[in-house]
Structure 1
Amino acid sequence: MTTGKTTKLAASVPFNAADYLQADDIPGYLAEVIHDGDTRALPLALRTAADVLGMAELARRTGLNRETLYRTLSDRGNPRLDTLSAILEAFGLRLAVQPNEQPRHRPTPHPARKRA
């Protein structure tokens, strides 16, 4: 049974992780994003962390100027290794290389095929 009345829905607001993240949480947040292994998620996570900390403070901690940071952390940004390292260090993290938990196996060459 309908009464002819409609319920007005509240306008939705885009989710912004920076609204729920504290500066003390940033190292753990970034470490989890990196640990998950989705390289596409890291630039977004770095932008979110920069929003929480503030670009001026991030510039102070990294020694990079704000323009460089804005460009690096933009949607089209592609940070150099030294820039990425400086940004991570500003959040109390460092780059490290370690073996995969599940090493990739190369296919075994077919016995009938000989290498030249």
Structure 2
Amino acid sequence: MNSAKKTKIKDLKKFDVVDYLKTEKDIAAYLSAVLEDGDPALFVAAIGDIARAKGMTEIAKKSGVTRESLYRALKVEARPRFETVTRVVQALGMKLSIHA
């Protein structure tokens, strides 16, 4: 007879990548992995995850985008303007670069 206690689905904590984005190295590794996938929607959502990890209100202030608009723009199904993406990336203290 197995006396080990079984874990129930309801007892599991919902996974949120934000819980693992503690350092700049963590953030860079996450964003790099997402970029390798090549999915623009996933890239935008990852920027949203990073913004949540750093504090959405603060990032909204720094980027000049309202908090509500930022949440809407950084969802997987959103298609934000490139200007919005670059403003948020800068507000996060990151920069985009291309390497040959």
What runs of 5+ residues in structure 2 fail to find an aligned partner?
Answer: none
Aligned to 1:28: 28
TM-score by length of 2: 0.73
Percent identical: 25
Runs of at least 4 residues of structure 1 off by over 4 A? Answer: none
Aligned to 2:6: 8
* Bigger Cα displacement from structure 2, 60-69 vs 5-14: 5-14
Report the CA distance shift for 1:97/1:55 in structure 2 as closer, same or farther (over 3 A).
same
What runs of 5+ residues in structure 1 fail to find an aligned partner?
Answer: 100-116
TM-score by length of 1: 0.65
More helix by share: 2
2:93 is paired with a residue whose SS is coil
1:8 is paired with a residue whose SS is coil
Higher Rg of the two aligned structures: 1
Rounded to whole Å, the distance in 1 between the matches of 2:30 and 2:18 is 12
Specify which structure has the bigger relative contact order, considering alpha-carbon pairs within 8 angstroms and separated by 6 or more residues.
2
How large is the Cα RMSD of the aligned pairs?
Answer: 2.7
